[in-house]
Structure 1
């Protein structure tokens, strides 16, 4: 029987989200993902603060602590590579909850490690869970954010990582004297496990992911009613327009329309995280070699992080108004110039300003690069695209950690190191810019309204050219 409901045209879920105002429901999703990445940052930070106490308790050498740091990074990389395709198969919600449960349990188990071998192994498992949490938090937030506000909402969500890292240092300083380093790991494990029930009851599945499958219309309608109450109607069908069925999410990254962009994004992520981890790990030592006190060097490290938070927010707003690829590539280039200028710094004020601008541009751009990656790929491979870009970036982070040690041990002067560090920033900017030049038509980073606003000159030019040919 042909009814009005059966004749109803299917609706693109992306159009509903993009056309609606940001609701409390979407803010709640962003807040939950904010808490997830904050716990991610907390866990990553505490290992650096408890390392001296672990070394003292077990009488370890400095070399023995190396695997403790690299194990977590290796786990992050492996977790990112495996979680992305899994989330594109079974959904973002399930992988997120599993990842948070996993890294919470592994961190809690780390508190009972009997020796350094067990602690390194458990730090790898913790990193494995963390590697699945961050890319899927980015993906889920992106898929519930309207295009015109995606940059702002995602960068605000990602600031949770910096907040969690800062709280990790504060918590360690406060609790390690009272409960020891094992007590800090207990806290790092219990907090995510306490969040799991909240995620289970409050976190929805991505409607864009649900629209890829069949028989999910009622579930999509129930979720969209909380985004835009007037969007759902009885018998309404939904779809995602930017898809091609039957293609592996990993294979999709290397289709002809995405291959070059994928490799260029990987270049940007690799170089950006390599530079950031070089600075994060070795900036205090570089400061000490410049004659700064330990207190001054710590303040400078804080300037790098503080600049990154401010840069993420400011650049996030800018990429919602202008072309995201051009904004981020320009910021990377300015960051490269800032870090190169440190080679000529002749005062603490110059160093402080250069480090702050470097954090603003490079760390802020890395956050925005996550936004770009989340909009570069279609729904069916978005989690894979974000996760694999972060996975490649983690390889760069490992390279940066070891590369800094090699250059310092070789006796390179600070000026030469700062000049070398400008190269990865420039390559990151070039990678983002060229990725924008070869992006697929489905890539959506800025809003349709903004694109229409800035596309009128080309329409006028085409119209004048057509008239001249008559």
Structure 2
């Protein structure tokens, strides 16, 4: 290293050239737990619904606001928190958002009616919606470039694992301590996590550099990641963006700027369509299977196979780091459409139904869980949190649409096969959207926009 390069260093190059350290694994673990808690909360609320019906004497339709309030909160939290994180920092928004959903979830355990529970569920969703995309953003900014998709997707595996554990824990806890105990666990755990985040979680060094923070602060954080000896002599840290930077302001203005507008819309559409499928099936499969003639217990067990497929995201992350990621995910969503259609063709064939549901779950959840990593790689640092958060926030409305879709199809007396054929269509639309995004990518080889980004790079 020459005297000139020893005085100036690119932060991403330093991360790329160093082994993945114990401190980076701490960042990974903290972000993993945040995603796990989101999965836990998503599954647990469905399991406490029968207890609410029994204790409060309400009907199933009356629970609609309680079950949907968190989805609206998730959307609102994501849309608001992304721009805030690009302005104030990833860590500050993460700590506050985890505190919000911890307090709100704990407060939900003391609710005495549907109205108060709905309000608290909205606040819980608000915190979760703000936390999830910022966890993805922070983790991606501490990953070596060649392993970013693999590690980000590995972190996102926390969601299906949290959903699975949420179901198992709720089934064990409710008979012993009642439904309120599930919400108490879901509230106390994030409050403990807040303390760990405040003490252990670093701010993104990429964010610090783009915000021109003092070199001493950047050196202190980066030293904990790659070793203080490697940064002791650095007098200036820089950040060379590989994505076009159209303005210094960043945030939503950059996400919707001309080079990124079409790609952003396609990401939103893809995430929206994926959640149409996920919530349509996760909410309605047990009922549809029961109506098709399966025993209620069997229907529930088979439906429970669907969310477990998200652990396959690790494989897609590995593929995305080695091949063109938009094509990989487009293939994943196209195969998802085929597998969802296949579920509808297995009525009366129990063995094939089990296979179709599991394969459909692996493909759908794997493709959907890989989208945050794709979005994080698509945007430059000063708009990354906004880009990821707005994709997830807009996409949450797909979950709301999916919940109502199957209800409307059932009301029209559509057949079992017909319902799954309709639910498969969003998978094809998601695949098309990803191919359109790839065609519009400003960072494709030879793009003049790529050269403009390099000229404007920090």
TM-score range, shorter chain: over 0.9
| Separation (CA, whole Å) in 2 of partners of 1:370 and 1:414 | 32
Matched with 2:346 is 345
Shift of 1:437: 2.1
- 257, 276, 279: which is aligned to 2:278? 276
- In angstroms, what is the RMSD of aligned CA positions? 1.8
- 87, 90, 105: which is aligned to 1:89? 87
* Alignment check: 8 A CA contact 1:25 1:226 kept: yes
Specify the SS of the correspondent of 1:238: strand
Q: Structure 1 293/82 Cα, relative in aligned 2: closer, same or farther at 3 Å? A: same
| Separation (CA, whole Å) in 1 of partners of 2:3 and 2:214 | 16
Matches within 5 A, 1:437-456: 437-441=439-443
Tell me whether 361-370 or 209-218 shows the greater mean CA deviation: 209-218
Tell me whether 296-305 or 390-399 shows the greater mean CA deviation: 296-305
Matched with 1:211 is 209
Matched with 1:46 is 44
Residue 65, structure 1, aligned to residue 63, structure 2: yes
* Alignment check: 8 A CA contact 1:8 1:237 kept: no
| Separation (CA, whole Å) in 2 of partners of 1:312 and 1:31 | 17
| Separation (CA, whole Å) in 1 of partners of 2:397 and 2:314 | 26
Specify the SS of the correspondent of 2:157: helix
Specify the SS of the correspondent of 1:139: helix
Unaligned runs of 5+ in 2: 446-458
Matched with 1:302 is 304
Matched with 1:368 is 370
Shift of 1:185: 1.3
Shift of 1:20: 2.1
Q: Deviations over 1:124-165 (max 9, x none)?
A: 011100100100010011000111111111111111111211
Matched with 1:451 is none
| Separation (CA, whole Å) in 1 of partners of 2:364 and 2:23 | 32
Matched with 2:448 is none
Matched with 2:324 is 323
Matched with 2:237 is 238
* Alignment check: 8 A CA contact 1:6 1:235 kept: no
Matches within 5 A, 1:66-465: 66-229=64-227, 230-242=229-241, 243=245, 245-309=247-311, 311-345=312-346, 347-441=349-443
| Separation (CA, whole Å) in 2 of partners of 1:402 and 1:200 | 39
* Alignment check: 8 A CA contact 1:5 1:234 kept: no
Q: Deviations over 1:336-385 (max 9, x none)?
A: 11111223225112212211121111110011111101110011010000
Unaligned runs of 5+ in 1: 444-470
Shift of 1:241: 2.3
Shift of 1:231: 3.3
TM-score by length of 2: 0.92
Specify the SS of the correspondent of 1:188: helix
Specify the SS of the correspondent of 1:231: helix
TM-score by length of 1: 0.90
| Separation (CA, whole Å) in 2 of partners of 1:137 and 1:128 | 15
* Alignment check: 8 A CA contact 2:86 2:250 kept: no
Q: Deviations over 1:92-132 (max 9, x none)?
A: 00101111100000011111112111111110011100100
Shift of 1:226: 2.6
Q: Deviations over 1:297-353 (max 9, x none)?
A: 2222222122222x2122121111211111110111111111112232251122122
Shift of 1:45: 1.7
Tell me whether 225-234 or 246-255 shows the greater mean CA deviation: 225-234
Q: Deviations over 1:260-304 (max 9, x none)?
A: 100111110111111111011111112112222222222222221
Matched with 1:456 is none
Aligned residues: 439
* Alignment check: 8 A CA contact 1:20 1:227 kept: no
| Separation (CA, whole Å) in 2 of partners of 1:172 and 1:342 | 28
Shift of 1:247: 2.3
Q: Structure 1 256/231 Cα, relative in aligned 2: closer, same or farther at 3 Å? A: farther
Tell me whether 176-185 or 63-72 shows the greater mean CA deviation: 176-185
* Runs of 4+ residues deviating >3 angstroms: 4-10, 243-246
| Separation (CA, whole Å) in 2 of partners of 1:169 and 1:323 | 36
